[in-house]
């Protein structure tokens, strides 16, 4: 169909559905355009992000829209190509060695290609005929992963749209299981209104905020979360958890003890064996948030950090951090399949019992979702392309990078290391012997300057120091196995240079005010 014809006939008639012969031709052209856009973008900006900061990004979207809406009167492949080019040019380049701000990896080619295949075929997991192979693939993957963490035959789980949701699902199961016992009725049916119990979730002060959000979503309230004190590395202190449990009043029902395996800042691991024993003794659901720390599992030298993991009732982990698959690749495992029962759902039009009796079963009843995409495909593709040794080598590479960066920082007169890295994060700050008004504001401004100038993407956090004061610190998150020592040196040089520039600018400002 030529263009003139297309305009006459209505442009939409030139668009074929992706899986058809015509559609695949169109798809090949568009994929080429998309990949060209990615290749061109990294050459163009040189750094991990395009120069200019938020105002330039806003302008880029505005320019691309040409004063129109997305429901344009002049649709076509050229507009799509322009969208791809702008998107690629303005995306953070996760393959760049100075992109070290987030737990966000660049994916393997296998995983990226699998995403395309998943999109073209658009299978779903909610009924048998919506994805016959996708279903079996996810089942097989879940069962293998259960083996990774030391679970037995009775284990099960589900893929979810992220670690936050995996935590939510784990806590949902713990709530319904623990409170149904405490209240004496099925609380997923009756709800909690009118019940006299006050549910409590224990996690460390360094736990991810998704735990408190989940408590809010689950109708327990964020106040239901009891924060257990940690040591200086952000590890939960089991004796403190004991003490808090002993102090509960009769109506306070602990429904979950949440351990973090790989905290967001230090990458620290709560003492899993001790906490598992405590949870077992007090008959509390033991949930482990290993969203980031699961990486240790693939490394021979780091794997002991996860000792005790198999004692958990439920485990959440992400492969879109360590794992090199695109988001979302998150998993919630349970030691006992029966614990998934609060998610059970029968729908006459999806999974009628006589179909199920004949083996036409699906995964509607193990998920919070109905239509659900196949995340297992990209995970399987990535694992099959890397294998156990590949995954382990890459985790070890990122760990070595963190240790190398930490050693460099520790030796540098203008930088101060907070602690030895546990996994692949490094926390530090810029320091100076000169009097400076606000060292936290200075460090925060250094990070913004590096972002706006497109030189480096760093994370920041706040650290309570021994003197009780909180200080802004900078954080490097290494997830790119290809990064070299020279590139880490260059990154740290950039930080030191930017720190001097910002200090000078702050001093000039003070003089002028």
Ligand X SMILES: *Cc1c(COP(=O)(O)O)cnc(C)c1O
Segment near ligand X (CB under 6 A), from 74-82, 115-123, 256-264, 447-455?
256-264
Segment near ligand X (CB under 6 A), from 158-166, 245-253, 345-353, 413-421?
158-166
**DSSP letters of 365-419?**
GGSS-SS----HHHHHHHHHHHHHHHHHHHHHHHHHHHHHHHHHHHH-TTEEE-S
Nearer to ligand X, 325 or 366 (CB): 325
Closest CA to 305 of 206, 399, 168, 231: 399
Rg of the chain on CA atoms, in Å: 25
Nearer to ligand X, 53 or 229 (CB): 229
Nearer to ligand X, 130 or 164 (CB): 164
CB of 87 to ligand X, least distance (A): 21
- Please name every residue paired with 256 in a beta bridge, in sequence order, or none if there are none: 201, 285
CB of 103 to ligand X, least distance (A): 5
CB of 266 to ligand X, least distance (A): 11
Closest residue to ligand X, judged by C-beta, is 163
Subset of residues 348 to 407 that bind ligand X, contact rule: CB under 6 A? none
CB of 320 to ligand X, least distance (A): 6
Whole-angstrom distance, CA of residue 352 vs CA of residue 396? 48
- The position carrying tokens 């405490």 is 182
What is the bridge-based pairing of β-strands 330-334 and 314-318?
Answer: antiparallel
Nearer to ligand X, 135 or 418 (CB): 418
Report which secondary-structure segment, H or E, holds 88: helix 77-89
Reported residue count of the chain is 513
**HSE-up of residue 331 (Cα within 13 Å, Cβ side):** 30
CB of 340 to ligand X, least distance (A): 20
Residues that contact ligand X, how many (by CB under 6 A): 14
Q: Are 199 and 179 within 8 A, CB to CB? A: yes
Closest CA to 263 of 214, 205, 334: 205
Angle between helices 238-246 and 272-282 (to 10 degrees): 20
Whole-angstrom distance, CA of residue 139 vs CA of residue 144? 9
Subset of residues 71 to 110 that bind ligand X, contact rule: CB under 6 A? 103
Which one among 128, 292, 298, 317 touches ligand X, defined by CB under 6 A?
292
CB of 394 to ligand X, least distance (A): 18
CB of 162 to ligand X, least distance (A): 3
Which one among 163, 308, 342, 454 touches ligand X, defined by CB under 6 A?
163
Which one among 96, 177, 208, 339 touches ligand X, defined by CB under 6 A?
208
CB of 292 to ligand X, least distance (A): 4
Q: Are 155 and 336 within 8 A, CB to CB? A: yes
- Contact flag: residue 260 with ligand X (CB under 6 A): yes
CB of 170 to ligand X, least distance (A): 11
- Contact flag: residue 264 with ligand X (CB under 6 A): yes
Angle between helices 376-411 and 485-512 (to 10 degrees): 60
- Contact flag: residue 291 with ligand X (CB under 6 A): yes
Nearer to ligand X, 94 or 407 (CB): 94
Quote the tokens at residue 439: 């060292």
Strands lying side by side in the sheet with 415-417: 99-100, 457-464, 470-477, 425-430, 415-417
CB of 290 to ligand X, least distance (A): 8
- The position carrying tokens 């992963």 is 145
Segment near ligand X (CB under 6 A), from 44-52, 118-126, 284-292, 373-381?
284-292
Site map 300..319 versus ligand X, x via CB under 6 A: ------------------x-
CB of 270 to ligand X, least distance (A): 11
Q: Are 497 and 480 within 8 A, CB to CB? A: no
Which one among 330, 382, 401, 483 touches ligand X, defined by CB under 6 A?
330
The CA angle 228-318-118, to the nearest 5 degrees, is 155
CB of 272 to ligand X, least distance (A): 14
Q: Phi-psi region for residue 46, left (φ > 0), alpha (ψ -120 to 50) or beta?
A: left
Closest CA to 377 of 122, 159, 31, 111: 111
Which one among 162, 271, 390, 481 touches ligand X, defined by CB under 6 A?
162
Nearer to ligand X, 135 or 218 (CB): 218
Segment near ligand X (CB under 6 A), from 105-113, 160-168, 230-238, 359-367?
160-168
Closest CA to 285 of 175, 206, 189: 175
Segment near ligand X (CB under 6 A), from 106-114, 122-130, 257-265, 446-454?
257-265
Site map 466..495 versus ligand X, x via CB under 6 A: ------------------------------
Which one among 138, 289, 375, 396 touches ligand X, defined by CB under 6 A?
289
- Contact flag: residue 210 with ligand X (CB under 6 A): yes
Q: Which residues bind ligand X (CB under 6 A)?
A: 103, 162-164, 208, 210, 260, 262, 264, 289, 291-292, 318, 330
């Amino acid at each position: 169909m030529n263009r003139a014809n297309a305009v006459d006939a209505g442009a939409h008639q030139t668009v074929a559905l992706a899986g058809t012969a015509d559609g695949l031709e169109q798809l090949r052209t568009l994929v080429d355009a998309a990949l060209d856009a990615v290749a061109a973008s990294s050459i163009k900006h040189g750094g991990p992000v395009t120069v200019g900061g938020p105002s330039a990004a806003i302008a880029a979207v505005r320019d691309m829209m040409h004063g129109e809406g997305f429901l344009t009167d002049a649709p076509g492949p050229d507009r799509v190509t322009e969208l791809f080019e702008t998107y690629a040019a303005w995306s953070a380049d996760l393959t760049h060695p100075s992109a070290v701000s987030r737990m966000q990896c660049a994916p393997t080619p296998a995983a990226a290609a699998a995403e395309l295949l998943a999109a073209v075929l658009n299978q779903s997991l909610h009924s048998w005929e919506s994805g016959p192979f996708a279903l079996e693939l996810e089942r097989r993957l879940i069962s293998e992963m259960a083996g990774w963490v030391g679970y037995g035959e009775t284990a099960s789980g589900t893929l979810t749209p992220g670690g936050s949701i995996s935590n939510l699902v784990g806590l949902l199961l713990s709530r319904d299981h623990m409170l149904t016992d405490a209240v004496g009725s099925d609380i997923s049916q009756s709800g909690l209104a009118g019940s006299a119990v006050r549910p409590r979730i224990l996690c460390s002060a360094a736990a991810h905020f998704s735990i408190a959000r989940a408590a809010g979503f689950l109708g327990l309230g964020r106040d239901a979360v009891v924060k257990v004190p940690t040591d200086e590395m952000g590890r939960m202190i089991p004796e403190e958890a004991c003490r808090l449990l002993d102090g509960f009043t009769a109506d306070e029902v602990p429904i979950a003890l949440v351990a973090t395996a790989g905290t967001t800042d230090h990458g620290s691991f709560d003492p899993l064996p001790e906490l598992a024993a405590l949870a077992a003794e007090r008959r509390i659901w033991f949930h482990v948030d290993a969203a980031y720390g699961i990486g240790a599992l693939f490394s021979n030298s780091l794997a002991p950090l996860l000792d005790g993991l198999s004692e958990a009732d439920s485990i959440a982990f992400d492969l879109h951090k360590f794992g090199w698959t695109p988001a979302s690749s998150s998993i919630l495992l349970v030691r006992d399949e029966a614990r998934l029962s609060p998610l059970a759902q029968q729908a006459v039009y999806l999974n009628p019992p006589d179909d199920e009796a004949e083996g036409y079963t699906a995964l509607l009843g193990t998920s919070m979702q109905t239509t659900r995409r196949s995340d297992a495909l990209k995970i399987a593709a990535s694992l099959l392309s890397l294998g156990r040794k590949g995954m382990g080598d890459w985790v070890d590479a990122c760990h070595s990078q963190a240790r190398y960066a930490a050693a460099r920082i520790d030796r540098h007169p203008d930088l101060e290391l907070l602690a030895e890295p546990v996994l692949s994060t490094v926390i530090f700050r810029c320091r100076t012997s000169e009097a400076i008004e606000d060292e936290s504001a200075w460090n925060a401004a250094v990070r913004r300057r590096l972002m706006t100038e497109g030189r480096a993407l760093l994370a920041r956090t706040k650290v309570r120091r021994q003197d009780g004061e909180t200080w802004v610190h900078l954080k490097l998150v290494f997830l790119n196995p290809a990064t070299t020592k020279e590139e880490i040196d260059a990154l740290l040089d950039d930080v030191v240079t930017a720190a001097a520039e910002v200090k000078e600018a702050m001093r000039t400002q003070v003089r002028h005010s």
